[in-house]
Structure 1
């Protein structure tokens, strides 16, 4: 689905998108590139990033990074700044899920989710700050989930880390706002990629969730990437500390 809206201008800006080689992260990177930005797609694996690098050879870059590793994130931000001379927008999108009920959830899986989903967002924010402050118009966009505010059996670790992302976003917003950096989150619901696509493929499961969505359908990737483009663009200059739910009007009970 296309929104039909003209690209918001991100001309002359540089953005880093973690988890930017597949799914929503890759979609956000493509949307920013279409709006004129230079984008560094960061991930532990290249996944589907080659399609973007080929379409935007002058402005799209890939850099391997593990957001749970402090030195790796520091190197990522340094790379982006050295390659382009600036850093204006950071999207902390990298995330993983390890589904299991609490009694069977291993410490290793718990630590992996905390390390990527929450510590990874913290490190992404912290290590980008010197460059965003230099920019004078820094934007940080974190990525939560419908599970950041709703619970599900077998998803305790994912729910807890995404709830943490939302509170970290709000705390960072009041701390960094006076320095000229806005911090907001997007919280997608069931989107036609990743988890949403898997849910739709299970007819019985999809019927249960579709009846809870006021619009009665999956969201389109473009509907999420357009929200990210808005939060990165000048039009959102007075939005700070907000968690933007993109879920079609989802009721959980």
Structure 2
């Protein structure tokens, strides 16, 4: 079954990482796809590889005129826009007291303002169509706080809130807006050194599933929300994080990575306390 058959889709940041894997999956599922990115060589090469249903257009998501050009061109070529995936993002590290304002504002410009501009650009089109799906890629860091990521976390929390507002307003017109919240994912952003996936396990030992995520796992979640299979999902937030956002461990107590419970045939539950 091709879940995006006859759908016209745009993926921002679609040339690399999670975006590229999502681009591949959308083509496999029957979509006609516009890959939008600032990475011109990589984006065009991917579009060429994916075949005649894929095209590339340069897009700086923080530039409103860029968005208008993308939307106008897509409508001229295809007549409609069914799916928008707001995936483009940048990541910077730095303690709050040492983070330059320019850096903070640049992260928000790409991650949050870029998402806002994307929603704004397709809203009139999708509302006139009476149908559409917008999937905003937030982060597990849009569900919690994390040190050294003030700008990134603020932008991803903002995407989460923006998704809720858009779901309320656009849902009245048959347009669904949802967010995906990836945890650590094996891409250039999270694994810039290109270390083998299995060697990263120790860095993710406090994740319940004990590993880093794969780009295709995020792509499949995005596909679900983009497709008609999620026809009653609106304003939802889908965490694809191995359980990272479920809570935290008290190290040393039973059931934590440092004190795992054995479930062999001789297991007996102990240390029961009543208060």
- Tell whether the structures are fold-level matches, with TM greater than 0.5: yes
* Distance change in 2, residues 1:219/1:170 (3 Å): same
Q: Which moved more, 1:206-215 or 1:9-18?
A: 206-215
Q: Quick check: 1:190 aligned with 2:222?
A: no
Deviation at 1:12, TM superposition (A): 0.8
Query: Aligned equivalents of 1:199 and 1:172: distance in 2?
Result: 37
Q: Quick check: 1:131 aligned with 2:132?
A: no
CA contact (8 A) 1:196 1:218 kept: no
Q: Which moved more, 1:138-147 or 1:42-51?
A: 42-51
Aligned pairs, how many?
246
CA contact (8 A) 2:84 2:133 kept: yes
Q: Quick check: 1:237 aligned with 2:206?
A: no
Matches within 5 A, 1:7-26: 8-26=2-20
Q: Which runs of no fewer than 5 residues in structure 2 stay unpaired?
A: 250-275
Deviation at 1:166, TM superposition (A): 0.4
CA contact (8 A) 2:188 2:194 kept: no
CA contact (8 A) 2:37 2:57 kept: yes
- Partner residue, 2:144: 150
Query: Aligned equivalents of 2:39 and 2:46: distance in 1?
Result: 14
CA contact (8 A) 1:22 1:47 kept: no
Query: Aligned equivalents of 1:135 and 1:56: distance in 2?
Result: 27
Q: What are the superposed Cα offsets for residues 5-35 of structure 1, whole Å, 9 maximum, x if unpaired?
A: xx54211110011111111111111111111
TM-score by length of 2: 0.83
Query: Aligned equivalents of 1:32 and 1:139: distance in 2?
Result: 14
CA contact (8 A) 1:53 1:61 kept: yes
Query: Aligned equivalents of 1:159 and 1:139: distance in 2?
Result: 24
Deviation at 1:116, TM superposition (A): 0.7
Q: What are the superposed Cα offsets for residues 146-173 of structure 1, whole Å, 9 maximum, x if unpaired?
A: 1112222211111011001001101110
- Partner residue, 1:48: 42
* Distance change in 2, residues 1:199/1:135 (3 Å): farther
Query: Aligned equivalents of 1:207 and 1:216: distance in 2?
Result: 6
User: CA RMSD, aligned part only?
Assistant: 2.1
TM-score by length of 1: 0.90
Give runs of ≥4 in structure 1 deviating > 3 Å.
198-203, 205-209
Q: Which runs of no fewer than 5 residues in structure 1 stay unpaired?
A: 1-6
Specify the SS of the correspondent of 2:42: coil
Q: What are the superposed Cα offsets for residues 57-93 of structure 1, whole Å, 9 maximum, x if unpaired?
A: 3111111111111111111111111121110000011
Q: Quick check: 1:106 aligned with 2:100?
A: yes
CA contact (8 A) 2:93 2:149 kept: yes
* Distance change in 2, residues 1:202/1:15 (3 Å): closer
Structure number with the higher helix fraction is 1
CA contact (8 A) 1:8 1:229 kept: no
Q: Quick check: 1:249 aligned with 2:249?
A: no
CA contact (8 A) 2:201 2:212 kept: no
